[in-house]
Amino acid sequence: MIELSLARLARAVGGDLRLAPGDGADTLVSGAVDTDSRLIGPGDIFVAKPGDVTDGHLFVPQAVEAGAACVIVEHDVDVTVSQVVVPDAVRALADLARFVVAEVRSRGDLRVVGITGSNGKTTTKNMLARILEGAGPTVSPRASFNNEVGAPLTMLRIDTGTRFLVSEFGASGPGEIARLAGLVDPDVAVVLMVGMAHAGGFGGIEATFLAKSELVRSVRAGGLAVLNADDARVAAMAPIAAERGASVRWFGRGANAQVRARDVEVGAAGTTCVVEADGEERMLHLQVLGEHHVMNALAAIAAATALGVTLSDAVDRLETLELAERWRMQPLGSERVRIINDAYNASPDSMAAALRTLAQITGPGERMVAVLGAMSELGEYSGEEHDRVGLLAVRLGIQRIVVVGPEARRLFLAAVGEGSWDGEAVFFATADEAFEYLQGELRDGDRVLVKSSNSAGLRFLGDRLGESFS
């Protein structure tokens, strides 16, 4: 974080300053800010956030022992460092992030990119960060830091030398993206797609559209909206950008996109395509598995080239990215039995994309095996969407469909109903049972996809399979 006096810090978050012996209002702090006491080091700032399971105030002594220079709390704690007492620690975290970003903007040439979409946010964030790191100091989220805590923590990692801040914005309901994006007023807003992910929380696909469009409504006047030309709902956000005085840069596979791809070929070693941008062309080889990641790459290239990066440099940087993120199309196992662990997130769109990728990378004489768990946060759409996945798996000719967990049983029944009734589809209540089955079932030449939402926990099953067949 940038250097601030304790007095300015307290004013920024609207808190009451309780000075420790030896500190003054002008005492400077500049360490990292975190809500996890285990990550606090000398000079850092600990935010004691109440949680569903425990209360951060219980860990203030550990943070102080680790060297915290200051703590932000909701009530006084008996420790020997200065405290800023606030009514709401999460709100204080957001207020501090807003203040720090505005301060850095006023001092230098900080450019902020916000990314949202029903799928692909984290992969696109990592792709864009990899490109921008070659152009200047860049801060981007760790893992999927995209909620009311993770997004401000990312923003607070910037300093006066930061050139680019890449923020990922997720949401569990209406208004959340507007609140988070409002902390930074992005120069560039990237919208990837509007799909069924989290549709249960939003109340349907149209409500999801409104929620994702909040990012475009938050872009700075004179800024840029990078929009998916192939997604009709995303394309419908162009008038919103115009209302904000922002221009639009289109990406997609169609001829009307300013940044587009053609001649796409998918294989076990990655995906190749020709990228066209503003009259230039470059061949791109993505090591990240899956044809669907071409769209994420196009979005990253569209944003980066708008920020002054050349197409050639953007492609060169993208080609160094070996993995989107742990548990996202992560290759494990061996050539004998290849495991693709994609069980961090799942939605109807990402399930379909992962299953199609499995079909595309499985060669003659090899066998497709899909280990599938539940998709969460679909609400009233859950049943029919699990049905669709089961039907697709059968129609793609996947030879073994292994369904895990009671919440995914409908997917299994749909596969059986579609014709996988002679042992092609099997069901297990637990991951341990599925692991035991797969230990005896998998054989040389198998290509195995493990796919589910985070809550289903199959990412750990994928790790176990990867280690077992390495």
Q: Which residues are annotated as a binding site for ATP?
A: 117-123
Structure tokens at 291: 């044809």
**CA 410 distance to own-chain centroid:** 27
Q: Cα–Cα distance between 112 and 97 in angstroms, integer?
A: 13
Amino acid letter, 383: G
Nearest residue to 47 via CA among 97, 100, 11: 97
Residues 6+ apart with CB under 8 A from 279: none
Query: Mapping DSSP to helix (H, G, I), strand (E, B) and coil, where does residue 205 land?
Result: helix
Q: Which residues are annotated as a binding site?
A: 117-123
CA atoms within 13 A on the CB side of 176: 19
**CA 235 distance to own-chain centroid:** 21
Q: Cα–Cα distance between 438 and 417 in angstroms, integer?
A: 23
CA distances from 382 to 120, 173, 388, 407 (A): 20, 17, 10, 9
Structure tokens at 450: 């493990």
Question: Which residues, listed in sequence order, are joined to residue 28 by a DSSP beta bridge?
Answer: 5
Structure tokens at 199: 């549709």
Query: Mapping DSSP to helix (H, G, I), strand (E, B) and coil, where does residue 252 land?
Result: strand
DSSP for 429-455 reads SSHHHHHHHHHHH--TTEEEEEE--GG
